[in-house]
Amino acid sequence: MAEVRWSSEFDRDRFQDAGLSSFEDFWNLEESGAKADYKPVRQHLDRKTGAVKRQTTIVRINKIKYFVKRASGESYRCIVREFEALKILPEFGLNTAKLLSYGFDEQEKKAFLIFKSLSGYNSLEDLIDLKAPPEVIAAFQVHKKAILKNIASAVHRIHKANYFYPDWRAKHIFIRKGTDEVVLIDLERFTHISKCPWYFKYRIVKNYVRMQEWKKLKGALGSRMYTKKFLNKLLHE
């Protein structure tokens, strides 16, 4: 049976008290009979069979919110990539959501990750669209240039280290209230170029991929908050 590992004894005990402890408990959350509330956030289905290949579920235990990601089959590697990205991203100047627990069944190609909710953080999407509380948006205005510099610096380091991340979206970038701390989530596609298809070794392909990354990032950041001129200058320094 696959082992379940924890980084927090407090949260481990909280889940155990709710009736969730083994790998099978977490894999079969909805049928576990645990004292918890579940809400599916995202599901990826197999086009042929309709079976769930990858999913994210909100789990609430005593009003505390957690996120559980599960994947199997071909999507198993998505969890593996995210797990590896969680370890390396801080080296590039970006933080990640706190990983509380994980389990990998390599033989059955099943895996899960458990994250703590990002309390005190707001997505860049909500900040840019002015959907966050007024005081949070005001604090963001103070730090917005430093935040963009942190993001741009991290992207340059990521590229220099030959990593690839095609999901630069405002909803994946979180900012801690009143600071310039940046957190990146949903890292299933964060990977090293060496693990991409063979044709990525050609410079023309690599440059095209990088161009698409910058385009995606500029789309995420471009708004009334950041002028096009400022974005172009900073992102290409």
With vertex at residue 20, the alpha carbon angle to CA 112 and CA 34, rounded to the nearest 5 degrees, is: 120
Predicted pLDDT at 22? 94
Q: What does DSSP assign to residue 98?
A: P
Domain layout of the chain by residue ranges: 4-116, 121-235
* Domains 4-116 and 121-235 belong to one CATH topology: no
Average pLDDT over residues 138-164: 88
Predicted pLDDT at 226? 59
pLDDT value at 93 more than 60: yes
Whether CATH 3.40.50.970 fits 4-116: no
Q: Name the more confident of 68 and 62.
A: 68
pLDDT tens profile 203-235: 767 777 777 776 777 777 765 555 666 666 665
> Where in the chain does DSSP place strands (E)?
4-6, 37-45, 52-61, 64-72, 95-96, 99-105, 110-116, 121-123, 163-164, 173-176, 182-184, 191-192
Fold classification of 121-235 (topology level): Transferase(Phosphotransferase); domain 1 (1.10.510)
49-58, 87-96, 209-218, range with greatest mean pLDDT: 87-96
pLDDT value at 13 more than 60: yes
pLDDT tens profile 103-136: 999 999 999 999 999 999 999 889 888 899 999 9
